[in-house]
A = this chain, B = another copy of it.
Amino acid sequence: MAEIATLDALSGLMARQRAVREFTKDVVDDGLIEQILEAATRAPSAKNEQVLRFVVLKSPESKRQVAAIVGEAPGPGRTPWDEVPVLIFVCAANPFGDTATGAAAQAGSVYPGIQNLLLAARAAGLGTVLTTSRAKIKEAELRALLNLPEGMDIYAIIPMGWPVARIGKNRRRPVSEVAFRERFGDAW
């Protein structure tokens, strides 16, 4: 039987997941990308619809085209769209409809897989950053670039590569500030 992560080892990994925007020029092997995408497919989805699709961009020309579309000025916090080794576009059709219930089912079928992807990349020592707003702001142009079929939307663009700096622990509010017992506001 395969080794399975313990809770302590998983917690240690999750505590060291941070947004990375500076990458070395080193390539990321296709085999490793495939294992990371496989992890993403393992996440739950409503009615097991498995809505997620991934378009992986590695060619310099594709990445230049993305950079030209998203058009971010250089500076701190800038995502280096055209320099990162890999850009993963996370796409999905929505079989659940646009009601509040359908939107929740769709979101609950898309982002758990994205989180699996980010965690798997981190476990491999890769850096990533989850971006959602650029995909929405420039969705029409990006859809055309990727040849997305009708009804297939872009939910995230994830730059991925080997981090320049060591990825340290993230900082979060303690559980005592975000968890309650039986009723909201009652101390955990």
Contacts and interface: CB of A to CB of B under 8 A. Distances in A.
A137 B101 contact: yes
State the oligomeric state as a number of copies.
Answer: 2
A42 B179 contact: no
A73 interface: no
Interface string A158-183: 00000000000010110100111111
- Chain A interface bracket (under 10, 10 to 19, 20 to 34, 35 or more): 35 or more
A104 B2 CA distance: 36
A67 interface: no
Interface of A: 2-19, 34-39, 41-44, 46, 50, 52-59, 62, 91, 100-101, 103-105, 107-108, 110-112, 114-116, 118-120, 123-124, 130, 132-133, 135-137, 146-149, 152, 155-156, 170, 172-173, 175, 178-185, 188
Given A14-B39, A14-B43, A17-B43, 15 more contacts: A5-B6, A5-B9, A10-B10, A10-B119, A17-B42, A34-B175, A34-B179, A37-B175, A42-B170, A54-B180, A55-B184, A58-B182, A59-B182, A104-B132, A147-B184
